[in-house]
Structures are given as structure tokens and as C-alpha cells.
Amino acid sequence: MDPIQVDFTGGSSGKGKGSGKDAYLAPKKAGLKTVLSLVGTVLGAAIAYYFMLPPLNFKSTQLYLFLGVVAAIYVVLQALLSGIITKPEYGAYVKKKALIPGAIIALLAVVVGIGMVISSVVFRAGSYSRIIDVDESKTFAGDVAEANFQSVPVLDDAAAAALANRALGDLSSINKVSQFELSGKFTQINYKNAPVRVTTLAYGDIFKWFKNTSTGFPGYIVVDMVTQKADLVLLDEGSYIRYSTEEHFSKFLMRHLRFKYPTCIFDTPHFEIDENGEPFWICPVLDKTIGLFGGTDVKGVVLVNAITGESMQYSIDEAKSEASLQWIDVIYSNLLLVEQYNYHGKYSGGFINSIIVQDGVKVATEGSNFLAVNDDVYMYTGVTSVSGDQAIIGFVLVNMRTKEANFYEVSGAKEYSAASSAEGVVQDYGYIATFPILLNISGQPTYFMSLKDTANLVKRYAMVNVQNYQVVVTGDTIAECTEAYVAKLKQNNIIIKVDIDEIKEATDNQGSDTPDTPAVPDDTVKSITGAVKDIRSAVIGGESVYFIRVEGSKKYFKIPASDAENVVILNVGDEVTILYEKGDGSILPAKEVQ
């Protein structure tokens, strides 16, 4: 049957409203199909909400996207139900039906556009610069405590993951060894006065999810950042972790949160444990403090028990001050803190100044790390000028629970420049440096980093003086590294007082519980004794390196002066014993020169 002519409301054919230049063709039962489109839109909106999980908050751009999707669903259903794919003559009808949804989408776009403008840093630079309060009156030597090597973390995420993967073998005790893997998301916290990284488990694949989701995850992993010991903490059967970012459907953490707190804008949740080892998800609640969409800050936190799913919401003041919540170490993410500091550093002099004059404009360097200070976790990042040079003008420490921020004026090398210097000393081994941590060693700002092999296992340690990154040393232990560092500083007429025996005592158990192999396995270490036939030196990566050949050998043995100070006084003819790593080539790395 041929289509009939109707008016916009889906009435019968005829001349009237549907005639003349405004006439259009509509399908049969257009009114019913409109009702079906509305019903389908409601169902589509419910499905979209279930998966998109937008906060019902006008300060969230996700809400506007969701509403736009709902409007688009209605238009698509009207088009499909009208049969426009096979009968394009219904195009005018669908266009009419799309007027209101189209107007809604346009209105949403206008609101978002206006919101972006009134939130723009161009007009609100002063507000952005004040989003974090930074104290710049303190000095490094006076405010930053001397390094306590019992709380200095020596691992990064990759090294912690390498150790944590080994701990997964303990799942064999409950016949679950092949069912789970690491989630890959670590949180650094202070647990029982020690810096640790904690992480949850993930299902090995979808089939293992089907098999295990009814009971959940049997435990979590704790990696001690000082001793390098990784433990799988198994929970009591029946008390497994049921709510996680690795779960699906109703036990997926973000969905669990959204249905309980529909208006909250959440930052990425992270995993922590309290002092009793009880697992929790810490879920920061965000607010947009500048205009409609700008000035992201934390206004509260929701704690979710990872086992039961029970939750409690606290204001930011409660989270900072209540004694029962002091075990929480991370409320502000390092990404948010770096963003806020960059706003402060860029726009304290106004937006125009940040672009043209750039007087006093500074930004965080590329990367950050974490320090344990007085049972709190602090984010560390260097600060550099916007000119793009390879030097820092200072660094920032920010408490990740309270957002207390301090800037310390210290000039020197950027972190990655220091890491490159350290890697240059051990280039024959191919070790990779972790992102440096800034320590106070007898008043000297010092970059400390671990040196890892290709398996992400820590093999050595390095120290680089911030103000003179030519002063770089390595050592098999922290005590050896510190002792070499002190000697190096003295060679450069920088006199400091460090109690090496105290450092040895503080670090003598460091790494004793990890199954790592030594830097050079015992069966690969050889020795040679003889008179020095030839000795040469070169500066590599800012370090003096000596090449020694003894009588009876055609090979040269290479060793940095920081690893064997006596080489600087060796002469041809002196009797030496060299411990070296077996290998090919005419130059072999030495371990010791005696």
C-alpha cells in the first residue's frame, strides 16, 4: 500500500497541516512507532548508563555526553522504525522527529562550550594558581631530614611487579596457582612503619573469571620497598575480595560506587590496607572548583571494604583529621598533584606572563616518585624553568594525604640526566636506573636510585650529587654506595660527615629475603693475579674508569674508581689480584682490585 500523507503529529492524510510546502510522508502507525521509539530510548538509556556510568552531576562532561547519546538513540530508533533505509521518502518525517533531540544536543553542546570558556585558564589564571598552597620559605638542609635508609624505597613499579609475580607461586597452597595474575596497579603506602607497595589480583582470563567470580580473589600482594620481600597475603576462605576494579557487572567497583553515589565524580580508586591488613578501596571524590569544569580538586573520599562492599563517605577535612582514618596514605593522586603544581608554577604571574614574558614560570619535571616521611607518603618531583634546559631549580614534596606542599630551592641536574649518568657507569652490564629519589646526605642533596637488570631485578645502587652530577658512584649495597659517595665528595673537596657503620647496620638485612641472584653469580667470577703491565684511565659518564692489564694476560680489566679507590694509586709493576666477570672480548668488567 502506498504511504499516506499526514501532519507532524502523525494524523490522517489530507490537505491541512500536512499539505503544501510543509507536507511530508510518514509511515503507517507513526504514532505507535513514536511510542516504541520512546520506550526503546528508555531501555537504551538504561543500558548506556549501566556501561558508561556517568555521574549525575552538571560539573561532569560525562553527563552531557550521556544525555547526547540518549538523544541520538531516539533519533536512530525513529529512523529505523520508519523504514527510512528502504524508503528514503520518509527522510522529511525523520527530520521532523529529530528536531527536538537535535535541539537538546545543540543545547548540551552550548552548555559545555560556555562551561569550558568560563572555566578556561585564560580568564581564571589567578584561581588556577591558588588551587594548591605551596610553601617556598623552607630550605633543603634545614627542613628535609637526613636520609633514613631503613625507610628509603629501592624499587619502582616494574621491579615491584617482578617480585610480586614470584609471590604468585604461593597460590599453589590453595590450588589456585594458574587462576590469577597481577592487576598491574600498585599503591605505595606506609604499612607498620615500612614503605610497601600493595596490589590486588586479576583473573587469568574470562574462563577463569567464570570459575572463580563466585568466591572472588583469595588475597593480595605486599612488596616491601626496602627489604625487597614480596608476600602473598591469603585471606580466610569465605572472606575473599569480592569488589574490585578487575571484577565485572555488579561487583565491578566503579559500578558499585555509581549506584550508591550517583552524583559523585570519582577519581581513579586505588587499593590500600589498614594496619590490620584489612583490604580497602580508597575512592577520592572530586569537585570542579573553577567555573563549571575547571580546577579539579578532592572534596572527600569514599572507603569501600573490598571484601564486603560496605562503604562510607567522608569529607576531605574528616579524612585528614579523624584519628581512625590516619592509616589512609593516598587521597590525592600524584597525577592530580603534578597538575595542580603546574597550574601554580605557570600562572602565579598571570596568563599573559605564562606565554610571553614567562617571569618566574616553572613546571614539574618529567616524572615523580614517592618518599616515606613521618608515617606519611610524599610525592617528589623536580621543578624546572619553562625554557626546557636540563637543570632543576628546585623540587617539591607534597603530602599525598593532606596536600601540604613545600618547595625547596636547589639547583642541579634533572632526574633523567642523573639517571643517565648512573647508567653510564654500569653500561657494560646494561642496567637501567629507577626514577631517582632525592635524599639529604649530610646536607648534600643527592639523587639515589636502584640499578635494575633486564628482568627488573635490583642489582646495584647509585648516588649522584644534584649540584654536581659528575659526582656519581655505584655500589652492590647501599652502605658500599654511600661509602663510595662520601669518598667521591671528598675528592671534589666537599667534606661531609656520614656514619657508614650506622648505614651498614640499617641496611644489613636489605634484600636478604628476596630470591634475587647477586649481580654476578659466583660461578662466573674469576680471578687473576700478577704485576700490572699497563694501566689507563678515561672519564665515562662523569666517572673515572680504569683499564688494567696484568702480565700473562692480553685482556684489560675495567673498573670505576668509585668501586676500587686503590686503583688511582696503582703503578706499572704493582702486584694485584683482580676479580672479574667471565666473558668474551678484550675488555672485561672487574668486580674488585686487591
For residues 163 and 268, state if they share a domain: yes
For residues 163 and 201, state if they share a domain: yes
Q: Do 446 and 485 meet the contact criterion of CB atoms below 8 Å apart?
A: yes
* Number of independent structural domains in the chain: 4
pLDDT for the residue 224:
94
pLDDT for the residue 29:
85
CATH number of the domain encompassing residue 585: 2.40.50.140
135 in any annotated domain: no
470 in any annotated domain: yes
For residues 440 and 321, state if they share a domain: no
Indicate the helix (H) or strand (E) that contains 23.
none
Q: Which domain holds residue 587?
A: 522-593
pLDDT for the residue 128:
97
CA distances (Å), 375 to each of 220, 270, 336, in order? Answer: 22, 19, 21
For residues 471 and 526, state if they share a domain: no
d(CA 427, CA 343): 38
| Secondary structure tally for the chain: helices H, strands E | 15, 31
Distance of CA 320 to the CA centre of its chain: 22
For residues 239 and 316, state if they share a domain: yes
DSSP states of 134-155 as a string? Answer: EE----HHHHSPPP-TTS----
For residues 192 and 278, state if they share a domain: yes
pLDDT for the residue 203:
95
For residues 166 and 311, state if they share a domain: yes
For residues 35 and 183, state if they share a domain: no
Domain boundary among 302, 325, 348: 325
Please report the sign of the dihedral spanned by the C-alpha atoms of residue 572, residue 578, residue 583, residue 588. negative
> Looking at this protein, which amino acid is placed at residue 415?
E
pLDDT for the residue 588:
85
Domain boundary among 69, 90, 118: 118
Return per-residue pLDDT of the chain as tens, 594 residues. 444 444 444 443 433 345 455 566 878 888 898 999 999 999 999 999 999 999 999 999 999 999 999 999 999 999 999 888 878 888 888 889 899 999 999 999 999 999 999 999 999 999 999 999 999 988 887 777 777 777 788 988 889 999 998 898 888 888 888 899 999 899 999 998 889 999 999 999 999 999 999 999 999 999 999 889 999 999 998 899 999 999 999 999 999 999 999 999 999 999 999 999 999 999 999 999 999 999 999 999 999 999 999 999 999 999 999 999 999 999 999 999 999 999 999 999 999 999 998 898 999 998 899 988 878 899 999 999 987 667 899 999 999 999 999 999 888 889 998 999 999 989 888 899 999 988 888 778 899 999 999 888 899 999 999 988 888 999 988 888 888 888 888 888 776 666 666 666 656 655 544 444 333 334 456 788 888 888 888 766 557 788 898 887 888 888 888 778 788 888 888 888 888 877 767 788 888 887
For residues 570 and 533, state if they share a domain: yes
Q: What are phi and psi of 397, to 5 degrees?
A: -115, 125
396 in any annotated domain: no
> Looking at this protein, which amino acid is placed at residue 69?
V
Closest by CA to 267, choosing from 296, 236, 293, 289, is 296
d(CA 336, CA 289): 14
Domain boundary among 507, 537, 570: 507
> Looking at this protein, which amino acid is placed at residue 58?
F
With a threshold of 0.85, does the pTM exceed it? Answer: no
113 in any annotated domain: yes
pLDDT for the residue 9:
42
297 in any annotated domain: yes
260 in any annotated domain: yes
For residues 67 and 105, state if they share a domain: yes
For residues 488 and 545, state if they share a domain: no
264 in any annotated domain: yes
For residues 441 and 544, state if they share a domain: no
149 in any annotated domain: no
pLDDT for the residue 516:
40
